[in-house]
């Protein structure tokens, strides 16, 4: 009976996610394929953060089921379960928090001045990432993807565009994660890290150990390992990787571009397991550059609205004829882009922790963030679709 309840719970959660996130996509693809004109009554509006709280709820049920199988105590408190599922700091933009990671915080409430101080410091770091860096490099990205003719024939401007988006998505998402971790700490909960300098990775496998850690570990523990992981031979291991990254791409959105993006990363993971890993060890000084460029090229699929847009960007990235700056790239954009590149590629976690403990630095970042927020209404939230 417990297995049936588990199956029903997982099925129900996935059905809700499928309906809200993929119903419009499935209907539009069906219409295009069979030349029909089916439409949903009033369309389907996507609830903000649905992917996060659905996955979080599923992890809770699955973990409790395994606890029962192992004869361990389970959490029967409806209040604690409700508090876990609806926890506001990370409800909308992650990270995905597993109940076992914060269970002790529910039982022993750590609400004290030290946690408030550390949480507020972490929140300021995240706020600075979002407001002072992500927002500042995003205006050119949005403008260019609205009209790709802006970068037509300009090799240099296209690379600046994709470097800007590469920085935007990292500082935007890691900034929100930092703010969520900080808010959680302030109210007595300690969330796990979600980003560990991912652009300093030495391979794509290493990248996924550092990028959106809560999502990659979720897919590893609840999909890759149950499928057999790497315990059933190399061929099965590669198939499992493909399945995981196909679904990882779909998790990010109802678009073929996201599916291709997932397949793109899955392909590099397979290639690294086959032969690339040993060559990367031999050229370790270039492995970081390899990883960064592969990730950047993948972001083209992730950011483009469709495959046609992606092909335009790819063509411009490898068209060596144009080395001029387009007018939309101002000096201030290049300044913030340079800061973002330095922080993401050369500043270690140890240095980040040092700055996080500097009251002068934190005060400067907080005041500057308030100034930027009050003088500029442009504040994009790029993860709203997830």
For 42, other C-beta atoms within 10 Å of its C-beta total: 6
Identify which of 65, 67, 68, 61 has the alpha carbon closest to the alpha carbon of residue 84.
61
In angstroms, rounded to a whole number, what is the distance separating the alpha carbons of residues 298 and 48?
25
Supply the residues annotated as catalytic.
252
Residue 203 near residue 291 (C-beta atoms within 8 A):
yes
Length of the chain, in residues: 386
* CA dihedral (258, 260, 265, 266) positive or negative: positive
For 20, other C-beta atoms within 10 Å of its C-beta total: 17
Residue 136 near residue 380 (C-beta atoms within 8 A):
no
* φ, ψ for residue 190, nearest 5 deg: -110, 105
- How does DSSP classify residue 220? I
Residue 335: how many CA atoms within 13 Å on its side-chain side? 5
Structure tokens that stand for 38 in this block:
């089916």
In angstroms, rounded to a whole number, what is the distance separating the alpha carbons of residues 196 and 107?
29
- Which residues neighbour 50 within 8 Å (Cβ) at sequence distance 6 or greater? 16, 17, 20, 21
């Amino acid at each position: 009976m417990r297995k049936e309840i588990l199956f029903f719970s997982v099925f129900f959660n996935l059905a809700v996610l499928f309906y809200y996130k993929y119903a419009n996509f499935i209907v539009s693809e069906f219409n295009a394929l069979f030349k029909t004109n089916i439409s949903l009554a009033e369309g389907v509006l996507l609830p903000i953060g649905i992917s996060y709280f659905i996955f979080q709820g599923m992890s809770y049920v699955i973990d409790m089921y395994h606890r029962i199988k192992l004869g361990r105590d389970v959490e029967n408190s409806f209040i604690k379960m409700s508090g876990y599922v609806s926890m506001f700091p990370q409800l909308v933009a992650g990270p995905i928090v597993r109940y076992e990671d914060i269970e002790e915080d529910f039982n022993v409430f750590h609400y004290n001045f030290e946690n408030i101080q550390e949480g507020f410091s972490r929140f300021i770091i995240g706020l600075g990432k979002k407001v002072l860096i992500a927002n500042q490099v995003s205006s050119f990205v949005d403008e260019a993807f609205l009209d790709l003719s802006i970068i037509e024939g300009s090799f240099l401007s296209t690379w600046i565009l994709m470097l800007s988006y590469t920085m935007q998505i990292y500082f935007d998402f890691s900034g929100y994660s930092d703010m969520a971790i900080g808010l959680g700490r302030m109210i007595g909960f300690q969330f796990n890290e979600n980003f560990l300098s991912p652009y300093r990775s030495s391979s794509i496998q290493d990248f996924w150990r550092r990028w959106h850690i809560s999502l990659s570990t979720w897919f590893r523990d609840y999909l890759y390992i149950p499928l057999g992981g790497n315990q059933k031979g190399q061929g099965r291991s590669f198939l499992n990787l493909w399945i995981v990254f196909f679904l990882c791409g779909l998790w990010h959105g109802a678009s073929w571009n996201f599916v291709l993006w997932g397949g793109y990363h899955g392909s590099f993971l397979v290639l690294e397991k086959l032969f690339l890993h040993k060559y990367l060890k031999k050229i370790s000084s270039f492995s970081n550059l390899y990883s960064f460029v592969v990730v950047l090229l993948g972001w083209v699929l992730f950011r483009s609205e469709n495959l046609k847009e992606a092909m335009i960007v790819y063509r411009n990235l490898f068209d060596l004829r144009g080395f001029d700056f387009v007018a939309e790239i101002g000096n201030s954009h290049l300044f913030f882009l340079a800061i973002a590149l330095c922080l993401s590629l050369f500043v270690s976690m140890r240095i980040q922790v040092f700055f996080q403990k500097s009251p002068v630095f934190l005060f400067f970042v907080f005041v500057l963030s308030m100034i930027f927020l009050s003088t500029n209404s442009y504040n994009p939230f790029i993860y709203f679709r997830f």
